[in-house]
Amino acid sequence: MIELRDLAFSYPDSDFGLSITGLEIAAGTTTAFIGPSGSGKTTLLNLIAGILEPDTGSVRTNGTLVTELSDRARRAFRVTEIGLVFQEFELLEYLTVLDNILLPYRINPVLKLQPEIVERAKTLAARVGITDKLRRRPRQLSQGERQRVAVCRAVITDPPLLLTDEPTGNLDPLNRETVLDILFDYVRDAGTTLVSVTHDHGILERFEAVVDFRSFHEIGPDSGSELDPAR
């Protein structure tokens, strides 16, 4: 469950501004953010993740008022409660596939790497079909395989919320479908809330809700009305 209230954000030294009166995304649903470049899709994703802080307003994710947390607590919240998948995969080249999947457990002391986590990593790897690549380095993998590793890394902590930013933007059509199948199979089975930024209209039918940032803008900061997920 994600709740945004009276959110306003602007980048310093920039005339870009984002203002949202209210937005609610129900737990266990899949939502796509669409819209032209610069319309604020990724900014909103970062606000939900607590990577960016709003100028005003509040973000409540899974019952936690993220905007009230300290920087340290927000990072701890993010690494435990939110999985993130990026367009550029963002794997560490010097780590093996397995170590990349386990990365969240090595960068914040709130997570302790237990043997069962390693088992879970292997299970996830088997599920996405990269079991034989666990000892490889990212650069020895194909683009599709890399994004599958990134998905495993995002869900290794079993987060209630998965945020993906153009997860298929760098993939060819075949890989795109494979990665999406994996993502949607996973969130369906795990009951995870999925919010994905995309400009690929061909995949929109997979989502239960779509937020169109064009209309969102039209509704605009002044209208005060809620954004209706269009279906």
Binding site for another protein (CB under 8 A): 49, 51, 71-72, 75-80, 82, 84, 86, 90, 92-95, 99, 103-110, 113, 137, 153-154
- Which residue lies nearer to another protein by CB, 26 or 113? 113
- Which residue lies nearer to another protein by CB, 5 or 137? 137
- Which residue lies nearer to another protein by CB, 19 or 196? 196
**What tokens appear for 20 in the block?**
């949202």
Q: How far is the CB of 45 from another protein (least distance, A)?
A: 11
Q: How far is the CB of 77 from another protein (least distance, A)?
A: 8
Q: How far is the CB of 136 from another protein (least distance, A)?
A: 13
- Which residue lies nearer to another protein by CB, 109 or 173? 109
Alpha-carbon gap, residue 211 to 194, rounded angstroms = 13
Q: How far is the CB of 151 from another protein (least distance, A)?
A: 13
Q: How far is the CB of 208 from another protein (least distance, A)?
A: 25
- Which residue lies nearer to another protein by CB, 74 or 176? 74
